[in-house]
Amino acid sequence: MNAVSLNAVSRSFGDTKAVNGLSLDVPEGAIYGFIGPNGSGKTTSIRMILHIIHPDSGTIEVLGQQGNRSANDRVGYLPEERGLYKKLKVKQVLAYYASLKGMPVKEARQEGAQWLDRFDLSHTTNQKIETLSKGMAQKVQFIATVITRPDLLILDEPFSGLDPVNHEALRDAILDLNRNGTTVIFSTHDMSMAERMCDYVCMIYKGNKVLDGTLQSIQQGQGEDTVRLRFDGDASLLQGHPSVAKVTDMGQYQEVRLAGDAQALLHHLVERTTVQLFEIARPSLHDIFVRIAGPEAAEAVAATSHAVSSQN
Amino acid sequence: MSKILSVLINEYLRAVRTKAFIIGVLVTPLLMGGGAIAVAVAENSKDLTDRHFVVVDRSEMLTEVIAEAMEGRNAHAIFDDEGEQEEPKWILETWDPDEHLGERSDQVLSKRVDDGELIGFLIIGADIPEVAPHIPELAGDGIDPATDEDELARGDRELAWFTDTPTYNDLPSTLSHLVNTAVRRHRISGASMDADLVDKLSERQSITTMGLVEVDEDGNVTDAKETDKIAEVAVPVGLAVMLFMLVMMSTPALMNNVLEEKMQRIAEVLVSAVTPFQLLMGKLLAAALVSLTLGVIYVGGLLVFVHNADVVPPAVVEALSPGTLLLFGVFLIMTLLIHGSIFAGLGAACSEIQDTQTLIMPAMLIMILPMMFLGPVIQSPDGTLATVLSFFPPATPMIMFMRVGIPPGVAWWELPVALVLCLAFAILSVWAASRIFRVGILMQGKAPSWRQMWSWIRAG
């Protein structure tokens, strides 16, 4: 049973094709990563799933309902660009957002109180949103998204702007919800995050799906042709070696795509320097994405990551 | 429906819980009352400084008349019943040419006005008392009109008031009246008639405005009553102006409210939970409810006042009938739906406050249109302009409301037709705005043109 099914969905804005013939299935109970650089069509796809905008062609089924908004009350949505009524109190915001999904105020108060407690925000109940820190406001917005106990949770870049502590708290909350049966779709440009959390991944680039499946099957499909390396010296040691197809600097280590024998490469390095890490691994999502979508896509991802990290 | 209700409740509470609303409730009547007090204070704080003026009487027969009149006025007419002075004294100085030989009177006196000694001076031409030269048929009978205009120096027929305070009009108009009355009597006497008799014969009669004689079904006749023009117009016009004020207070605020949700990125969460139409409807109805709340407070206060104050004419109390107030409420909701949807649509279409500046003008113009024609409509409530305007839906609520209230009222079919037209237009406005809302609410960047918005409405 799928929580969400898209079948050959397309949507254009003027001459720009934002989403082009996208088909995908999100299994119930999955954590489904929707990844790709900014402008690749993720947000447009999400808005179509929520029936905020309509597709030009194709069909969309959400929680068993096709082509209408009747499932929306069972969907929680955290958009990428967040905002709350600054002049309202925390409890008022939570009650209002819950009432829009049909939850009675009393129930919303109880549920809200539990969530506020979980995020150590109980003291803010009667505070106005404008008095909260950015991290607190983000957590309140997350609570507003999950307060109605949705069956499907759609999170657009949920971790952007969060410090490590809040990041961890939010990640635990999402995993808990998922363990209790909530299907989670989360959109991100951060592939390593998707790799750590998702069961299923769909990569989208320039409105086209470039990869779709379980994380395991995707990685297996690429084979174990990657070596993670850390050694004294710089990457020039790897240049020109027949076993090396491509080197990507990952900061803490170098990721090498093999074109030949791994042992020959290890031997080559040990003779010349001290090797601290040599791990034969499956390729990372980032690497797979670049292989499929091409170097131009890699630059787009890099640009997005850079822009986001400098914002943060 | 429950979603519209959720939006409505939230928007309503958000609006009435603000300090601005509470201040608005208290301050608006205070401002109105304050205005009335200011007028009263201005009335009571007249400048009572003596006003000196000079009359240069070349006819040598009018100074005396003026002097007598001023003496009488300064002794009695400037005091109220309790003997308190409420008007300044007007003190006449005469001009004796013999004392000022070789001097130009206008030049000397202008200097004195300039120095602040005088408020002004009057020059009466030598020939003022004589019959005008263009009435030769009056020649004979002792009158000696000049027949050749060239014989008359222009200044000899001059009656001129010189001043550097042209806005102070009471004195020159009194002088004009005195001179003309005296001259008229002089000319009548010159024509061998009895000036007193002529005065009596030409006594003016003022007109009384009456309503109509009414005959009921049994043939009983009710005499016409004298109408109190002000009282009959005060209620419909006053309430229509209140209608305008309430709409002015709510609808531009609605635009800011939508724009704020858009700028603070709240809109996307909202439209994922409710449709743009539900969101718009909730907001519009909340705005209508806020205005109704204000209306109930103001009108309620007014009712308490008119039923307890003796100074209010009975016609006013009678005009504030439940039927009138119900119609006021209905028109208030309709006008809010019409203008509210226009402003909410604009809020959704724009991304920044600056963007609204260019788009807001036409919307404002449509809203203040009925106010611009207030005068002609009161003057002629069943005239072509008023009738046409009352069937132009954006203006219908105000204009039709006034036409219904101001005698002679409207034909039996006019109000229902106007209500239906207005309702249809309100639904059309909400529908069009919801289309703009759906496209605009998530759109960022440059504000659209009117043409683009039209294409959004058509495309949906």
Enumerate the residues of chain A whose CB falls inside 8 A of the CB of residue B14.
85, 87-88
> Is B1 among the domain residues?
no
- Note the pLDDT of residue A298: 62
Residue A261 is classified by DSSP as -
> Is B18 among the domain residues?
no
The answer, yes or no, to whether residue B77 has pLDDT greater than 90, is: no
Nearest to A84 among B7, B266, B268 (CB): B266
Considering its fold, how many domains does chain A have in total? Answer: 2
Distance CA B377, CA B246 (A): 20
On whether both A236 and A208 belong to a single domain, the answer is no
Q: Provide the whole-model pTM.
A: 0.75
- Note the pLDDT of residue B148: 43
Q: Which two tokens stand for residue A139?
A: 């957590």
> Is B221 among the domain residues?
no
- Note the pLDDT of residue B400: 94
Higher pLDDT, B363 or A223: B363
Instruction: Confirm if B312 and B306 have CB atoms less than 8 A apart.
Output: yes
- Do A83 and B14 lie within an 8 Å CB cutoff? no
As a whole-number percent, the residues of chain B with pLDDT over 90 amount to 32
Residue A257, domain extent: 223-311
The answer, yes or no, to whether residue B386 has pLDDT greater than 50, is: yes
Phi-psi region of B445 (alpha: psi -120 to 50; beta: other; left: phi over 0): left
Higher pLDDT, B237 or A83: B237
- Note the pLDDT of residue B134: 56
End of a domain among A197, A219, A241?
A219
- Note the pLDDT of residue A302: 60
- Within 8 A by CB and 6+ apart from B297, the residues are B25
The per-residue pLDDT of chain B, averaged, comes to 85
> Residue A48's closest chain B neighbor by CA?
B272
On whether both B239 and B131 belong to a single domain, the answer is no
Question: A84: how many CB neighbours lie within 10 A of its CB?
Answer: 24
Nearest to B265 among A77, A83, A144 (CB): A83
Q: Mean of the pLDDT values across residues A288-309?
A: 62
- Within 8 A by CB and 6+ apart from B101, the residues are none
Which amino acid is located at A273 in the chain?
T
- Note the pLDDT of residue B155: 64
- Note the pLDDT of residue A49: 93
On whether both A171 and A291 belong to a single domain, the answer is no
- Note the pLDDT of residue B389: 92
Here the CATH number for the domain that contains residue A246 is 3.30.70
Here the CATH number for the domain that contains residue B165 is 3.40.190.10
Q: What confidence category does residue B454 fall into, taking pLDDT thresholds of 50, 70 and 90? A: confident
Best B268, B283, B442, B444 member to test A by mutation, with max A CBs in 10 Å, is B268
Distance CA B274, CA B266 (A): 13
On whether both B275 and B423 belong to a single domain, the answer is yes
- Note the pLDDT of residue A310: 44
Minimum distance, in Å, between the CA of residue A241 and any CA atom of chain B: 51
Pick the range with the lowest mean pLDDT from A66-75, A199-208, B242-251, B448-457.
Answer: B448-457
Q: By C-alpha distance, which of A161, A179, A150, A190 is closest to A81?
A: A161
Distances (CA, A) of A139 to A134, A198, B256, B303, B415: 9, 21, 27, 51, 55
Here the CATH number for the domain that contains residue A124 is 3.40.50.300
The answer, yes or no, to whether residue A311 has pLDDT greater than 50, is: no
On whether both B147 and B263 belong to a single domain, the answer is no
Q: Mean of the pLDDT values across residues A12-35?
A: 91
Q: Mean of the pLDDT values across residues B286-293?
A: 92
Sheet holding A226-231, edge to edge: A244-249, A254-258, A226-231, A275-281
Place of tokens 């208030």: B332
A→B interface, C-beta within 8 Å: 47, 50, 52-53, 69, 72-73, 75, 77, 79, 81-88, 96-97, 99-102, 144
End of a domain among B141, B174, B196?
B196
On whether both A255 and A198 belong to a single domain, the answer is no
> Is B414 among the domain residues?
yes
On whether both A48 and A153 belong to a single domain, the answer is yes
Q: What confidence category does residue B453 fall into, taking pLDDT thresholds of 50, 70 and 90? A: confident
> Is B261 among the domain residues?
yes
On whether both B249 and B181 belong to a single domain, the answer is no
On whether both B302 and B443 belong to a single domain, the answer is yes
Q: By C-alpha distance, which of B337, B350, B338, B336 is closest to B437?
A: B350
Considering its fold, how many domains does chain B have in total? Answer: 2
Which letter, b or e, does each residue of A53-81 get, where b requires 16 or more Cβ atoms within 10 Å of its Cβ? bebeebebbbbeeeeebebbbbbbbbbbb
On whether both A169 and A288 belong to a single domain, the answer is no
Residue B263, domain extent: 229-459
| B79 alpha-carbon distance from chain centroid | 31
On whether both A202 and A232 belong to a single domain, the answer is no
On whether both B325 and B443 belong to a single domain, the answer is yes
Q: Mean of the pLDDT values across residues B262-274?
A: 88
- Note the pLDDT of residue A292: 75
On whether both A62 and A145 belong to a single domain, the answer is yes
Minimum distance, in Å, between the CA of residue B416 and any CA atom of chain A: 37
The answer, yes or no, to whether residue A272 has pLDDT greater than 90, is: no
- Note the pLDDT of residue B137: 56
> Residue B257's closest chain A neighbor by CA?
A85
End of a domain among A219, A247, A272?
A219
On whether both B250 and B365 belong to a single domain, the answer is yes
Nearest to A101 among B9, B268, B273 (CB): B273
pLDDT in tens, A101-132: 999 989 999 999 999 999 999 999 999 999 99
End of a domain among A194, A219, A244?
A219
Q: Please report the number of interchain residue pairs, chain A to chain B, with beta-carbon separation below 8 angstroms.
A: 53
> Is B207 among the domain residues?
no
On whether both A175 and A210 belong to a single domain, the answer is yes
Q: Mean of the pLDDT values across residues A133-144?
A: 92
Q: What confidence category does residue A295 fall into, taking pLDDT thresholds of 50, 70 and 90? A: low
On whether both A286 and A171 belong to a single domain, the answer is no
The answer, yes or no, to whether residue A32 has pLDDT greater than 90, is: yes
> Is B7 among the domain residues?
no
pLDDT in tens, B42-58: 766 778 889 999 999 88
On whether both A241 and A187 belong to a single domain, the answer is no
Residue A89 is classified by DSSP as B
pLDDT in tens, B130-186: 776 555 555 545 445 444 444 445 567 788 999 998 888 889 999 999 999 999 888
Distances (CA, A) of A121 to A113, A169, A200: 9, 12, 32
On whether both A181 and A94 belong to a single domain, the answer is yes
